Amino acid sequence: MRNKINEAHESVGSIEAPEADPTEVKRKVVIPGEVIVTGEDYLPGEGTRRKGEDVVASRFGLAEIAGRSIKVISLFGTFIPRRNNVIIGRVRDITFYGWSIDMDSASSGFLPLDESPRFINKDEMDQFLAIGDVIAAKIWSVKAKGIDLTLNGKGLGKLEGGFVFRVIPSRVPRIIGREGSMVGLIKEKTGCNITVGQNGWVWIKGPTTDAEIRARKAVEFVADKVFVDGLTDKMEEWFTTN
């Protein structure tokens, strides 16, 4: 009798706690309202919600099931600003207190005068950043009234020379790769300086125009291939033929 109870417990345990291997990530395409997994034990994360027993997707994209936690990553659509995102933007206006930055999202960013790395006279703000200048900045806070930016950080500041183009913002993590491996590879192979903003703007500056164009093609190639299995290897191969 006792044995039977134990067995029952064990079997329940194995259903509720799926093989908790956090390194293994299962991916699948889900549409809004689709049930991703069923079970009380899962933790609904970003882009998901709980509906009774089930965890359902609340947006269209790629569901990632890592152990118990579940989230849905969007594959298309506009940039949604988050704190600590590095973005590339263009100076739209100079106000009395700072710069208004167009960053290709619903609300524009604001870079306060205090955030500039050195003292700037209020009369000479356009000597530091003029209208139309391109900058790399970090999102300091996201509030209902607007987005505050900062320039304190490595690689942030005015981007001089080169050119900027757009990719789909949700592809940016792929372009950057794990700890910057992908963008590092492109930099190394083309000799270009590349900054990728989370808003999907990419800035490239290289020694020659040809190198810049090659780098752009490489970035666009990566952006097209969303589903990566050893994409870094494929990229190495791409550089041998292009």
Binding site for another protein (CB under 8 A): 27-29, 31-34, 47, 56, 58-62, 74-78, 80, 106-108, 144, 170, 224-227, 229
Q: How far is the CB of 60 from another protein (least distance, A)?
A: 4
Q: Which of 116, 117, 134, 150 is nearest to 204 (CA)?
A: 134
Q: Minimal distance in Å, beta carbon 85 to another protein?
A: 15
Rounded to the nearest whole angstrom, what is the least distance from the CB of residue 56 to another protein in the complex? Answer: 8
Chain centre distance of CA 106: 17
Report the residue number, 69 or 74, with the smaller CB distance to another protein.
74
Task: Give 58 or 193: the residue with its C-beta nearer to another protein.
Answer: 58
| Cβ-proximal residues to 21 (8 Å cutoff; 6+ apart), any chain | 67
* 165 or 227: CB nearest another protein: 227
Helices (H), the chain: 2-16, 125-128, 172-176, 181-190, 209-224, 231-241
DSSP character for 59? S
In one-letter notation, the amino acid at residue 200 is G
Q: How far is the CB of 58 from another protein (least distance, A)?
A: 5
We find the least distance from the C-beta atom of residue 77 to another protein, in angstroms, to be 3
> What's the N-to-C CA distance of the chain in angstroms?
70
Specify whether the backbone of 47 is left (phi greater than 0), alpha (psi in -120 to 50) or beta: left
Question: For another protein, which is the closer residue by CB, 60 or 163?
Answer: 60
Measured from the CB atom, the residue of 80 and 120 that comes closer to another protein is: 80
